[in-house]
Each structure stands twice: as C-alpha cells, then as structure tokens.
Amino acid sequence: MKIACASTNGINVDEHFGTASAFYIFDLADGVLTPLDKVLVEPYSDGDQKDHPFTPTAFERVSTALAGCERVYVRKIGDKPAAELRKIGIEPIIHEGAIDAIG
C-alpha cells in the first residue's frame, strides 16, 4: 500500500497536516517501507484556525498531491480535513516519531 508521511526531513513524522510543506511517499508491504517520492505542497494553514479556516480549494491542493495513498501519517490533523480525507479514501493516522517505526 502507498502511504504518505508529513515530515520535514523524511526521517520523522513531525508535521501537522495543514502546515506541512512536504509529504514523503512510501510503499508499505509486509512491514517494509520503500521510499518512492517527496511531494512538495503549499500548506493551506499557518496553524491559526481563525485566519486560515478549512477551505475546499486549499484542501484540494494538498489532497491532490496525496492521490493514490491509502494512509497519511501526521503529527496532528483537524476534524474537518480528517473527515474530508476519509471521503476520498485516505485514512489519516496520528503518529509522531520515526517513520521507520510505521509498519
């Protein structure tokens, strides 16, 4: 299965879904992670919900970059983006720490 990790360095899941500027894409098969790609995105939030509320257009920019992934591992995610990801078949997973611990 193809997964994405919100990460600043490709080693740790350390980014909030809305503020992430990069997602590292991996293939996860039989507990083994194989790196596939690094996808750069324009974050749709700066973490201040009042100034940057969830908008479908901003979400679409990020979700399009994750097309084909079954899961996205994030340090944190809001209820609305998590629900929208599930609608398009991507399960958000809260995980903070080493990417290689996934699997």
Instruction: Compute CA distances 67 → 2, 44, 85, 96, 101, whole Å.
Output: 10, 17, 10, 22, 23
Query: What pLDDT does residue 27 have?
Result: 98
Residue 47 pLDDT level (bands cut at 50, 70, 90): low
Query: What pLDDT does residue 103 have?
Result: 77
Which CATH code is given to the segment(s) 2-101?
A: 3.30.420.130
Query: What pLDDT does residue 42 have?
Result: 87
Amino acid type, 44: Y
Q: Residue 49 pLDDT > 70, yes or no?
A: no
- Give residue limits of the domains in the chain: 2-101
- Mean pLDDT confidence for 9-27: 96
Q: Residue 53 pLDDT > 60, yes or no?
A: no
Q: What is the distance between the alpha carbons of residues 53 and 47, in angstroms, rounded to a whole number?
A: 9
